[in-house]
Amino acid sequence: MNQVPAQQLSDWLDNTLQARRFKDYCPNGLQVEGKSSISHIITGVTATQALLKTAIERNADAVLVHHGWFWKNEDPVVRGTKRRRLALALAHGLNVFAYHLPLDAHPTLGNNAQLARVLGLQPERDADGAPRLCGPDDLIWLGQCPEGTTLESLGKQICNALQRPPLLVGNSQQNIRRIAWCTGGAQGYMQAAVDAGVDAYLTGEASEPTYHLAQETGTAFIGAGHHATERYGVQALGQAIASEFGIRVDFVDIDNPI
Ligand SMILES: [Zn+2]
């Protein structure tokens, strides 16, 4: 079985995702050091106890996730669920790799790029092929839906692709030609999408004011699920690791209705 030194994988991931470019709410990269050599990785959206237990059952050497640990707004003490997660990783020598914003933003492997692929959205691109972005830290993508798309038809398509019904705010028959999207909990960025003049804004979650902003601007809002919109970047990254190093990488989807 092929193996890769944990340090080499860590360097490759940091490089590929340009992790140091981002100011983030959590450390990006190797968050918990485990075994020094890696032949099997479990990927998932969030480094929960359930994901760690699956990785341990399958004798994996590492987990790679979008939502890791040690968030800036959390209590830093190691108690409760945090202690239990950490204890599992340390007891079994599991490396924990996490990439938050770098994995949202990557132009081909990232959550936004991959969600466009899954939903059939056509990203707008600059002359050099780079995706056209807007909003805080350029995290929002801009693109087009196929001609004839309405809010209702887009909702059905999202439901099929993501296997869960989205929250739709707007007139079901309104045409959606130009759309902006940002995976996860980016409802707070909706004004930037409105300013960009799109017909609809898609993200994972909604907050109470989101509804009013959509109603009062006429920009449709689509809440397609935080977990559901962030399943695809880590899978694309896992495939890239498997082809680069020839090691085994398996995605485990532990569903989350939010
Ligand atoms: Zn997220």
DSSP assignment of 134-160 equals: ESGGG-EEEEEPPTT-BHHHHHHHHHH
Instruction: Choose among 136, 176, 133, 135: nearest CA to 158.
Output: 176
The residue written with tokens 């960025």 in the block is: 189
CB 235 within 8 A of CB 251: yes
- The rounded Å distance from CA 50 to ligand 1 centre is 18
- The rounded Å distance from CA 138 to ligand 1 centre is 16
Give the tokens for residue 93.
Answer: 């020598």
Question: What pLDDT, on a 0 to 100 scale, did the predictor assign at position 1?
Answer: 79
What's the pTM value of the predicted model, to 2 decimals? 0.96
CB 222 within 8 A of CB 158: yes
Cα–Cα distance for residue pair 250/3, rounded to 1 Å: 15
Query: Could you list the pLDDT tens digit for every one of the 258 residues in the chain?
Result: 799 999 999 999 999 999 999 999 999 999 999 999 999 999 999 999 999 999 999 999 999 999 999 999 999 999 999 999 999 999 999 999 999 999 999 999 999 999 999 999 999 999 999 999 999 999 999 999 999 999 999 999 999 999 999 999 999 999 999 999 999 999 999 999 999 999 999 999 999 999 999 999 999 999 999 999 999 999 999 999 999 999 999 999 999 999
Domains of the chain and CATH, by start = 4-100 (3.40.1390.30), 106-229 (3.40.1390.30)
- The rounded Å distance from CA 83 to ligand 1 centre is 22
- The rounded Å distance from CA 62 to ligand 1 centre is 20
Spell 202-227 as b/e; 16+ CB within 10 A means b. Answer: bbbbbeeebeebbeebebbbbbbbbb
Q: What angle do CA 138, 198, 227 make, to 5 degrees?
A: 60
CB 99 within 8 A of CB 67: no
pLDDT tens string 207-255 = 999 999 999 999 999 999 999 999 999 999 999 999 999 999 999 999 9
Cα–Cα distance for residue pair 47/101, rounded to 1 Å: 16
Cα–Cα distance for residue pair 115/235, rounded to 1 Å: 11
Give the tokens for residue 147.
Answer: 């001609």
Question: What pLDDT, on a 0 to 100 scale, did the predictor assign at position 70?
Answer: 97
pLDDT tens string 212-225 = 999 999 999 999 99
Rg over alpha carbons for the chain, rounded to the nearest Å, is 19
- The rounded Å distance from CA 2 to ligand 1 centre is 31
- The rounded Å distance from CA 48 to ligand 1 centre is 13
The alpha carbon of 68 is separated from its chain's Cα centroid by a whole number of angstroms, namely 12
Q: DSSP letter at 92?
A: T
